[in-house]
Homo-oligomer: A and B are copies of this chain.
Amino acid sequence: METTPLSSSERTKLGRKAQRGSTDRADLYAVLDAGLICHLGLVVNDYPRVIPTAYGRDGDTLYLHGSTGSSALAAAEGRQVCVTVTHLDGLVCARSVNNHSMNYRSAVIYGEARVVTDESERLRALRAVTEQIIPGRWAGAREPNRKELAATAVLAVPLTEASVKSRTGAPIDQEEDYELDYWAGVIPVSLVFGEPEPDSVLPVPEHIYARSGHTLSG
């Protein structure tokens, strides 16, 4: 059980609605572990660039991977990046337009993207990315071969400088608005998995059913 709190910095200090923040490392891990994709922010030729990509966590390190031919990954190597993971949990409808909001959990991580060169760490990282998306999948597929590994870039971002933020619950209206004739409430939002669509005559393995939430029939 990790107990080191997240380090505070100019970049992670929350401005508005700081009460929605957390510096608890367990909260950061919970947001990351529940996610499937992140949004990776880079500075390329002085311009911001944001791309969606997969990620994995191993302890206090976040891993990203991609083709060695990816311009985004090349632009991240050894550079400062920002990795954001967001879960949308609800649409919050207030009586006033102004107090509309969303329920969410999000993590914003800042750090230098280190190029991983050690082969055993590279394998561990690729495993973390694969298992992040579907636990059990690493054992359920052919491992990368030498040629594939040579074409794969792996980056590590330390989980040191991060902020976590969330909102839950009902809308909050101005006192005088509660008497208005407008409905208020929350529409819950969640990501759901559907029935697996096989590209194979083999039986659907248990880890695929476990991820999709569909139990084994028969």
Contacts and interface: CB of A to CB of B under 8 A. Distances in A.
A200 B186 contact: no
B140 A182 contact: yes
| Copies of the polypeptide in the assembly | 2
A86 B39 contact: yes
Given A42-B48, A43-B46, A97 B142 contact: yes
A50 B41 contact: yes
Interface residues of A, number: 89
B191 A189 contact: yes
A7 B96 CA distance: 38
23 contacts: A15-B70, A43-B46, A43-B47, A46-B80, A49-B82, A49-B108, A50-B84, A51-B108, A93-B134, A96-B148, A97-B126, A97-B137, A97-B141, A100-B137, A100-B141, A140-B182, A171-B199, A181-B202, A183-B198, A183-B203, A185-B198, A186-B196, A186-B197
Interface of A: 11, 15-16, 36-37, 39-44, 46-52, 54, 67, 69-71, 80-84, 86, 88, 90-91, 93-98, 100, 102, 104, 106, 108, 110, 126, 130, 133-134, 137-138, 140-145, 148, 152, 170-171, 177, 180-200, 202-205, 208, 211-212
